[in-house]
Amino acid sequence: MEKTVLNVKTDRSLKIKAKKVAKNLGLPLGTIVNHYLRQLVNEKRVVFSAHPTPNKKTWKLLRQASEDCKKGRNITGPFSSAKEIEAYLDS
C-alpha cells in the first residue's frame, strides 16, 4: 500500500489535546486519524458519539421546563391521536 501525507488544518489546542488522548490510549494520532478515514470510506457516514453539552441558555430553558412540568404549568396533552395533535398545533 502506497503511503501519502495528509495535511489538515486544525486548531492548535485541539491537536495538542488529541495527541495527549492518543498517547494515553497508547496510539499515535495518525493511527486514530487513519481509523476514522477508513470508517468514513467503509460506512459512508460520520458518527459523532460525544454527548452534546447544552450551553447556558439551553440549560436555563431545560431547568425552567423541568420546573414547569413539576408544577403542572405549560403542559398540553396527552393527545389520543395524531389528528388531535395537528388540531392543537394548527390552533
Q: Write down the domain spans for the chain.
A: 56-90
Q: Tell whether the model's pLDDT for residue 9 goes beyond 90.
A: yes
Question: pLDDT tens for residues 34-61?
Answer: 999 999 999 999 987 878 889 999 999 9
Which 3 state secondary structure label does DSSP give 61?
A: helix
Tell me, yes or no, if the pTM score tops 0.75: no
76 contacts 88 by C-beta, under 8 angstroms: yes
Rg (alpha carbons) of the chain, rounded to whole number: 23
Q: Which residue has the higher pLDDT, 76 or 27?
A: 27
Mean pLDDT of the chain, nearest integer:
93
* Percent of the chain with pLDDT strictly greater than 70: 100
**C-beta neighbour count of 35 within 10 angstroms:** 11
